[in-house]
Structure 1
Amino acid sequence: MNEQQTGQDEYVGDVAPGGPAQTRTAGCLRITKVAVDPEMSNNCYLLRCEDTGDQVLVDAAAEPERLLELVGDGGLATVITTHQHWDHHRGLAAVVAATGAEVVVGSPDADAVTEQTGVTVTRSVGHGDTVAVGSCSLDVIALAGHTPGSVALLFEDAERGDGRAHLFTGDSLFPGGPGKTAGPAEFTSLMDDLEARVFDRLPDSTWFYPGHGDDSTLGDQRPQLGEWRARGW
């Protein structure tokens, strides 16, 4: 399959299962987005360090053969699972078996991921931890609510970047609202974390990449925060 390679100005993040990937470069990081599984339409993100060639996959959601094709001959250092829900790790066992990649999960979700996949989590992470992508680095932002151990991953490259922060949000933030929660307490927890750790910290230009569907910017979503709080979902 020949994947579509898009330039920085052409990337829009609009991908569909069975369709081509989209790729952009942000400083030392090359970001490739692909959608898998027509039923769930999960987004997976292959991150490649432009300096070292090291690669990290965010969510081995499904279709491991497709993901391994993206990985190619460059090897895979790490798979980060953004949260424990089944649709985000169906390809994990096959990808790890083929590549020997380290498995990273937010600490409160780690046991559940192992129970559901049979894959040993080699590193449990919490808020403020970092995950290397070669010479690049991802900051771990814990966002409890969609699941207890949901994490977002923040990339910033002040020296070589494109003027944006880039945030991989799993199912914790989408265009139009936070991810689904089990009840009022979980919703409040997620909104509190999103406001304090994402919207209060990062500028409007921050581009975020969710676990399903299209991307957006924090600036596009910020005016809706009060509405989200009021509706409770």
Structure 2
Amino acid sequence: MSVRIEHLVTAGTFALDGGVWDVENNVWIVGDDTEAIVIDAAHDATAIEAALGGRTLRAIVCTHAHNDHIDAAPALAEATGAPILLHPDDLPLWRQTHPDRAPDGELADGQTLTVGGVELTVLHTPGHAPGAVCLHAPALSTVFTGDTLFHGGPGATGRSFSDFPTIIDSIRDRLLTLPPVTQVRTGHGDATTVGDEAPQLAEWIRRGH
């Protein structure tokens, strides 16, 4: 029963600072035939539960608390009994979407989550949001980056709770130090690799100033 990565795309809206945008989100399911974790329960709890296929859901991990990454988390938690985990620095963002329902547990830098015998290490990578995290699974040669790093550059930093120099520091110090072959599985859009993104760091910094 080897651990595998499954990918679901869900559609909805992202809302912040008075604006609303249509978006498609990547939902990642990591697990074996009996148990799994979900990374970013976006938009459609029913579709995510169906993709689990009856497996035990060990945790709903939030890479950050923008509404499009957490809007389906409470419904999925209610349906499965799984705890919602979020870095506490993102609680102010969480409360904008779910003022009456707190997460069930906290994520911390260096914390490890285990599913199917595979460890995922939490990397605190602020910048896109204060409590943004990535999940590094060395055994799967993968890092799940949420909206911190995309194919082609950093996540957006033009809205509340975000900061460009901070996200650059996070990417340079926490992500580009991973093995170049590491697959970067993102919160939106196509995957990439650390090796493909690393040479562009100087250009990102130039464009950001």
2:185 is aligned with 1:217:
no
Between 1:106-115 and 1:187-196, the stretch displaced more is 106-115
- Work out whether residues 205 and 217 of structure 1, in 8 Å CA contact, stay in contact via their aligned partners in 2: yes
Counterpart residue number, 2:62: 81
Counterpart residue number, 2:83: 102
- Report how many aligned residue pairs link the two structures: 197
CA deviation after TM superposition for structure 1 residue 124, in Å: 0.9
In 2, the alpha carbon distance for the partners of 1:28 and 1:139 equals 19
Greater strand content: 2
Counterpart residue number, 2:15: none
Between 1:126-135 and 1:80-89, the stretch displaced more is 126-135
In 2, the alpha carbon distance for the partners of 1:178 and 1:166 equals 17
| Alpha carbons of structure 1 residues 122 and 111: separation in structure 2 relative to 1, 3 Å | farther
Counterpart residue number, 2:19: none
Paired residue type of 1:182: G
2:172 is aligned with 1:189:
no
Counterpart residue number, 2:114: 132
Paired residue type of 1:113: W
Structure 2: state its 5+ residue gaps: 13-21
In 2, the alpha carbon distance for the partners of 1:91 and 1:119 equals 12
CA deviation after TM superposition for structure 1 residue 193, in Å: 1.3
CA deviation after TM superposition for structure 1 residue 115, in Å: 5.1
CA deviation after TM superposition for structure 1 residue 120, in Å: 2.6
CA deviation after TM superposition for structure 1 residue 228, in Å: 0.2
- Work out whether residues 114 and 121 of structure 1, in 8 Å CA contact, stay in contact via their aligned partners in 2: no
2:32 is aligned with 1:46:
no
- Work out whether residues 55 and 133 of structure 1, in 8 Å CA contact, stay in contact via their aligned partners in 2: yes
Counterpart residue number, 1:60: 41
In 1, the alpha carbon distance for the partners of 2:208 and 2:95 equals 32
In 1, the alpha carbon distance for the partners of 2:69 and 2:7 equals 14
In 1, the alpha carbon distance for the partners of 2:174 and 2:3 equals 22
* RMSD, aligned CA: 1.9
In 2, the alpha carbon distance for the partners of 1:81 and 1:199 equals 21
- Work out whether residues 153 and 168 of structure 1, in 8 Å CA contact, stay in contact via their aligned partners in 2: yes
CA deviation after TM superposition for structure 1 residue 220, in Å: 1.0
In 1, the alpha carbon distance for the partners of 2:95 and 2:56 equals 23
- Work out whether residues 113 and 119 of structure 1, in 8 Å CA contact, stay in contact via their aligned partners in 2: no
Counterpart residue number, 2:3: 29
CA deviation after TM superposition for structure 1 residue 114, in Å: 4.7
- Describe the SS at the equivalent of 1:55: strand
2:56 is aligned with 1:69:
no
Counterpart residue number, 2:150: 174
CA deviation after TM superposition for structure 1 residue 181, in Å: 0.8
In 2, the alpha carbon distance for the partners of 1:111 and 1:99 equals 25
CA deviation after TM superposition for structure 1 residue 222, in Å: 1.2
CA deviation after TM superposition for structure 1 residue 107, in Å: 2.0
Q: Could you give the per-residue CA deviations for residues 21-61 of structure 1, whole angstroms, max 9, x where no partner exists?
A: xxxxxx942100110016311000011136xx221000011
CA deviation after TM superposition for structure 1 residue 189, in Å: 0.8
In 2, the alpha carbon distance for the partners of 1:114 and 1:124 equals 15
- Describe the SS at the equivalent of 1:220: helix
In 2, the alpha carbon distance for the partners of 1:60 and 1:66 equals 10
